[in-house]
Amino acid sequence: MALKFNYYIPTKIVFGKGSLDKLAKLKLPGKKALIVTGGTSTTKLGYVDRVVNLLKEKEIESVVYNKILPNPNNVQVDEGADIIKSEGCDFIIGIGGGSSIDSAKAMSMVAANEGKCWDFISGAARMKNKPMPVVAITTTAGTGTEADQYFVITNEELNQKIGWGGEKFFPTLSIVDPDLMMTVPPKYTAYQGFDALYHSIEGYIARVANPMSDMYALKAIELIGKYLPTAVKNGADEEARAAVAMANTLSGMVEATSSTTSEHAMEHSLSAFHPELTHGAGLIMISCAYHKHFAPHIADRYVDMARALGYRDTTDPMDFVKALEQLIVDCDVADLKMSDFGIQKSDIEELADNALATGGLMFKVDRVQLTKEDVMKIYEESYK
């Protein structure tokens, strides 16, 4: 591959056990924060209170908005943006998984401009002012959004789940503290870890992959292959939690320097119609059929990834699919079924149309172009 790349990841990332407490010593980008989170674990576990108190130490005021849903949608984004304006907040802290941080990013756009969230995403409105500063505090190892410039928002009325963003949407500061991830249940540890894995896999096979994104991707794939099963089976294992958290941050850097592919578009279509379906679970369900389709066409890249997953000396790209299938078994998520989420075989054509319509850009970065028939075939092979 030609040695060409653009690198731009301006986020300050403070990574490691205990790093949340460093918030008290770090320079923050404002004097009054809206803290954006889901209503449940981050509150129960006391993380939100810890953040509020750490801010108090710095004489920074805060208001908490805790209505974010697993698939964050434009309604909450607009609601949060209204609070930012009425309360006079000057920065946003997203604490939780990707849904909270992505919502914070979306609010940073809406709060700084005139218009509703979906007006910007649909193109009806343009962003005149730069978004407000965002601080990301991750409590899961999943989306990598703490190290990238993107966010994914669902519009449930339109059944659309769309990735959006740009250079101005990198968080100003991201705190990645594996201590905050110790209590994530096994199932979600797996879903989130696989989401990170697919970001790196897709970033590695995308047309826009480059030597910098490749370095992040192979390291992340190696770490997840080595540590995710342990993190799933023994959540108290600090080394495994930290390694998966680092793999996730690296996967965000892969997104920042390369791109996700049509695999993500195909999943977004599933969870757009079934918001109760966790993104990572949707990806797991379609990934084996998806990569079986691509592996023969991009053999060298799949061989590299198979090696990163432990097939040290292989030259067979299909060994990657074997390793992926085994990892899915080792992480106890091999029993996922579309039918369990109410997806009908008869929905497949509509799912394909939606993926192609809303995920167009992700199909464009594929090295091999998928037809609607290919997309339907991958859904069909994945259907259980």
Interface size with its own copies, residues (CB under 8 A)? 28
Helices 279-294 and 372-382 cross at an angle (nearest 10°) of 120
DSSP assignment of 354-371 equals HHHHH-HHHHHT-SSPPP
- Give the C-alpha separation, 329 to 375, whole Å: 24
Q: Given the DSSP bridges, would you call strands 91-96 and 32-38 parallel, antiparallel or unpaired? A: parallel
Determine phi and psi for 236, rounding to 5 degrees: -85, -5
Whichever of 100 and 257 has its CB closer to its own copies, that residue is 257
Q: Cβ 263 to its own copies, closest distance in Å?
A: 25
d(CA 150, CA 173): 15
Judged by CB under 8 A, which of 158, 182, 208, 215 binds its own copies? Answer: 215
Give the one residue of 51, 81, 92, 242 binding its own copies; rule: CB under 8 A.
Answer: 242
Tokens in use for 209?
A: 């992959």
Tokens of 30: 């404002």
Interface stretch with its own copies, choices 8-16, 73-81, 351-359, 362-370 (CB under 8 A): 8-16
Out of 46, 166, 185, 211, the residue judged to bind its own copies by CB under 8 A: 211
Residue recorded with tokens 């929905």 = 347
Site for its own copies contains 245 (CB under 8 A): yes
User: Near its own copies by CB under 8 A, which window of 123-131, 193-201, 214-222, 274-282?
Assistant: 214-222
Determine, following the binding rule CB under 8 A, whether residue 182 of this chain makes contact with its own copies. Answer: no
Contact with its own copies (CB under 8 A): which of 105, 161, 219, 264? 219
Closer residue to its own copies (CB): 77 or 175:
175
Q: Give the number of C-alpha atoms closer than 13 A to the C-alpha of residue 47, restricted to the C-beta side.
A: 33
Q: Based on CB atoms, which residue is closest to its own copies, 171 or 229?
A: 171
Phi and psi, residue 63, nearest 5°: -125, 140
Nearer of residues 257 and 358 to its own copies, judged by Cβ:
257
Applying CB under 8 A, which residues contact its own copies? Answer: 2-17, 19, 178, 211-212, 215-216, 219, 239, 242-243, 245-246
